[in-house]
Amino acid sequence: MLEISNLEVVYNEVALVLRGLSIEVPDGSVVALLGSNGAGKTTTARATTGLLDNHEGKSTKGTIMWNGQDITHMKPSSIVRAGISQVMEGRRCFGELTVDENLATGAFTNKDGAKRNYDRVMELFPRLLERRKQLAGYMSGGEQQMLAIGRAMMAEPKLMILDEPSLGLAPLLVQQVRDVISLINSEGTSILLIEQNAMMALSIADFGYIMENGKIVMDGEGQKLLADDDVKEFYLGLHGDESGERKSFRDVKHYKRRKKWAS
């Protein structure tokens, strides 16, 4: 189980991005972390996987506990070894490496299981099998997202953090990514799903958190959040009073409705 409590992260020693964030990801569950741009979602992912150093960031307060172990200041390689892998925002495939070599980098910490995990990835994404000798940089966005997820699976993580996996994908591919995530979860990997696409994320999440300005403003079970009026209005773009039907822009008086958590 991943437990982040009261985490504060500062960039460049001045920009306070996370202000006391607390979330939990129980074993075997899918947890969604939602929020608009600049809320601190990616920072949360970086802090959890030890990548803050690359961005002059530092966690100044709070702890990140993974199965009882404090990983707040651990090296990225140790965190991956401990069982947490991240699928980074924007896919970040190694464009000059072939598909096979990309997957091999994912198995860097887990070479014993490389063969088994490789077969599992190829079974899940037959598309990658067709292109295994091709350079990753020449693949389409959807294929690269599959590759990025497959690469993370090579480490056989117990927790997979996915940062905006639906970014820049067509709706049909978003659905496919969602199905893949459910499938990986059903095989026993917990998922922390960071998304702007709230509808997609909440439809598979057991539990959801909504972030604003570096802290959690609302949480609840996935279905409960989906039904919430404020979430509907601010994250799903629905304005219906009861049925979720669309309003004309003329009628939208944004200032009239106040988020109930903004006191």
Interface residue list for another protein (CB under 8 A): 49-51, 53-54, 75-77, 79-81, 85-86, 88, 92-97, 101-102, 104-106, 108-109, 111, 151-152, 155
Nearer to another protein, 113 or 220 (CB): 113
Q: Quick one: DSSP state of residue 98? A: B
Nearer to another protein, 39 or 152 (CB): 152
The shares of helix, strand and coil residues in the chain, as percent rounded to the nearest 5, are 40, 25, 35
Quote the least distance from Cβ 20 to another protein, whole Å: 25
Quote the least distance from Cβ 88 to another protein, whole Å: 6
Quote the least distance from Cβ 44 to another protein, whole Å: 14
Quote the least distance from Cβ 153 to another protein, whole Å: 11
The beta strand positions in 26-157, using DSSP E, are: 30-35, 57-66, 69-70, 84-87
Beta bridge partners of 220: 208
d(CA 39, CA 191): 20
Quote the least distance from Cβ 210 to another protein, whole Å: 25
Interior angle at CA 66, CA 64 and CA 71, nearest 5: 50
Nearer to another protein, 42 or 202 (CB): 42
Nearer to another protein, 50 or 222 (CB): 50
Contact 103/118 with Cβ under 8 angstroms?
A: yes
d(CA 169, CA 154): 23
Nearer to another protein, 133 or 246 (CB): 133
Beta bridge partners of 135: 98
Nearer to another protein, 92 or 258 (CB): 92
For the chain, what is the radius of gyration of the CA atoms?
Answer: 19
Quote the least distance from Cβ 235 to another protein, whole Å: 27
d(CA 239, CA 202): 18
